[in-house]
Structure 1
Amino acid sequence: MPRTAEEIAAGLRERIHSGELQPGDRLPTMEALVEEHGVNRQTARTALTILKNEGLVEYKGGRAGTFVREKPATRMVRARAMERDNLGYYSGANVQHWRLVEGTRTEVGEEPVPADIAGYLGVEPGTPVVARKRINGDPDVPAYRQLTDSYLHPDAVAAVPVIAGNSGLGGIYDRIEEWARQPISWEEEITAITPSPVETAALLMPPGVPLLRVIRTSTVKVDGRQLVVEVNDIRFSAEVFSIRYPMTRRGEAKWPVQPASADFYTS
């Protein structure tokens, strides 16, 4: 019985994951897949497209064919900490030298806040807010880049209008701390998402690679309430980067610890 495109893709996927097919190896041609599995060319083409969309293979055109995609041998580890130099705050020593990607600029304008960002910012979805968007990257390594979208709370913009434009030396965080007369508190949440075509193109990513997404909230205390003044939506390739941070001991995990009194596997 002829196999489906999904079944053919599953067989090739297993050969890739097992190491039988190595990065740079050529996959069977559509003609070979047609003959081997008794299917038509469209089914064979669909099977290869499935693997391409998963980021496992790449089509090099013409008679070259389809190959197992070569991935970065290592990932750049992104340590998560706020640091500071003469330019202001930056999030991690290995991105200190990053700048706007050549040919781009920070885009500033008012737009309806996305529904998921609205929840962090504490406003209704669709509320007009000031957004500051840019592409940052390593000037020496084209693949090292990230999208950074900053959404500002309307109350912060009303109190410090300059953060909606050219915020001056030190940027918006310095202006906010000068206004609040206290340090900003930051908190980050890390997740992964499927990139849009626009994000894939901007980050020079092949199809099928997920994005790491860091949502950073900036909070100050204003008039007796904790106000999230800014939400930073940071996205970068999960294939090029990883995130590392120390684990802290809390509560009963503080050393010295008490002897365990129950069996985890039978409780």
Structure 2
Amino acid sequence: MNPFVFACITPHGGEIIPELSGSIPERMKLTRDSMVRLGKKMTDANPETIIVLTPHGTRIDGFFSVTNSERMFGYLEENDGYFELERIVDRELAVAITKNAQAKQIPIASINYGTAGGPISCLPLDWGCIVPLSFMPDVPIVVINPSRELPFESHLALGKVICEVVEKSEKRVALIASCDWSHAHDPEGPYGYDPAAKILDEEVVGLIRSNELEKMAELDSELIDAAKPDGIWQTLILAGAIRKEQRQIHLYSYEVPTYFGLICAEIDSFCDGDSELQ
């Protein structure tokens, strides 16, 4: 059984947040509207804790990292706008995930800052968390950062551990895989243009539509390097946490309003109907 009350794949471009949309709010409107829908679904699911898988948190070479601070705080500045967010950390769940993964020889470490507890124990909240969480209910979080030095199989294995821990916790837990996709769609963008970006994003959309998330581990490494996605690793953790036979995927939207691809999708065990692409 899928132990999560709600799960989704979300992007994390700063302009998705209304306060940061600047003078062209329509640029990411499709994605923003999809995020509002996901936020309402998440609120209706009434989670006690949200686990966020982000590529932009504190990185430890060769290890997954798990937050074990008292709280997290971060802010974004974009298009002359400012947005900040603070969340309490569910340290009990974070420690359980870390210890259970370590027991299975998965390279993982918990991280903290300043003091063992109290107000100074505060890690930075990155944009991979801030953007999706800005649409979600204000509940405690656990933030997990993948490691690109580890094989894809380790990401699937960590997902299985997360599933087991959540099942045993009896808490109402939600899961977010925070993912932007290919970053080489625009020659004027910071990573330039590569035709691999369109190819990879089309493959990813197809795998999401067909509920074949595990097959992202089979994507060609040269294609990945050229397209520069940052969503594969988090999606594989989610795939390990919610097995194929336990999930249905509803693709809300895909767009490329700037130089990187944005996907919003709901993962649900109990929804009827086919995936929809707006």
Q: Is TM more than 0.5 here? A: no
**What TM-score results when the alignment is normalised by the length of structure 2?**
0.23
**What TM-score results when the alignment is normalised by the length of structure 1?**
0.24
More helix by share: 2
More strand by share: 1
